[in-house]
Amino acid sequence: MSKPIERIVKTNGISLNIVEQGQGPFVLLCHGFPESWYSWRHQINALAEAGFHVVAPDMRGYGKSDRPEAIDQYTIFHLVGDLVGLLDGLEAPTAAIIGHDWGAGIAWQAARLRPDRFRAIVSLSVPFRPRSPARPTSLMPQTAEAQFYQLYFQEPGVAEAEFEKDPRLTLRAMLYGASGEGVAAIRAVAANSGRAPGVGMVPRAGGWLPSSAPPLPSWLSEADLNVYAEEFARSGFRGPLNYYRNIDRNWELMAAFDGTKVTVPALYIAGDHDMVVAFPGAAEQIANMKQVVPLLRDIQMLPRCGHWTQQERPAEVNAAIVEFLRGLPN
């Protein structure tokens, strides 16, 4: 078995850092926020051993990939274009695409817009979301005391200043807070207090991060945290946050494709402790997904699993992905 190779590939006018391993049908792994190719560390070798050519990029704005400064360089068309260009650079006619978090949203659109290049999709955490009736930020919850985290991300420089002050604390807090263990702890506190927690809400005074470091979740080692912290200490958070600053712009750009279905085979996997599953409207989107993804093969909900699906439950996720990929038509 070959070992993973890390290299730079030119695509769509920028350079993407990729990690690749194996031979066979191409499988493209797209990470989310705030991660890197490293979030697929448990999948890369497993999929390569199963007979696939696995490619995991640092997405635009992350890690060793290029990080354009302009906010409007992070639209959904740029992000899907990067992946099409990546396949061209690898001389891959098609690939199965697997995404988590933001990577899942991008993967859904890649499969929807270019089914000739992305022959199947596995989405982790994020279901397919039909276009909303109004600008997404106008529908996000906020009160006098708190606002939805994606609203907190909108003003350039604000979240960067908080997150870049101590990247290690930032990553530790985010990875624990959205994990199955972190969500279980939050739910326990809420149950004892008799108050339901506000999902994804950020206090208007004091910012998002806790004043002291939370525990590490059981699936994350200090060495793993070091990898993430070192990457973000070097590359910063502006590029990743720019994804969120294009949410309304993407809504405008995608108007012409409203109603277009995802026509390739699909698999959806999420944890029942995932904050995304608890977002308003998510349960309905999951229940009705087959209406817009007619070749959806299965919906798998992992008990006590939080948001970091492939890192929290690698064995179960790997087995489900391999079974799905092996069942695709040649």
Query: Are 101 and 240 a contacting pair, CB within 8 Å?
Result: no
Q: Please state the φ and ψ torsions of residue 102, each to the nearest 5 degrees.
A: -55, -35
Q: In what order do the strands lie in the sheet with 5-11?
A: 5-11, 14-21, 53-57, 26-30, 95-100, 118-124, 266-271, 296-302
Report the candidate in 78, 33, 41 with the shortest Cα–Cα distance to residue 232.
Answer: 33
Token representation of residue 132: 């909303």
Q: Considering 82, 101, 273, 274, which one is annotated as catalytic?
A: 101
| Number of C-beta neighbours around residue 10 at 10 A | 13
H or E element that contains 51: none
Candidate list 78, 100, 273, 307, residue with the active-site label? 307
The β-bridge relationship of strands 266-271 and 118-124 is parallel
Please name which of 311, 274, 277 lies closest in space to residue 186, comparing C-alpha atoms: 274
Catalytic residue flag (residue 58): no
Rounded CA separation 139/157 (Å): 23
| Active site (annotated) includes residue 82 | no
Catalytic residues: 101, 307
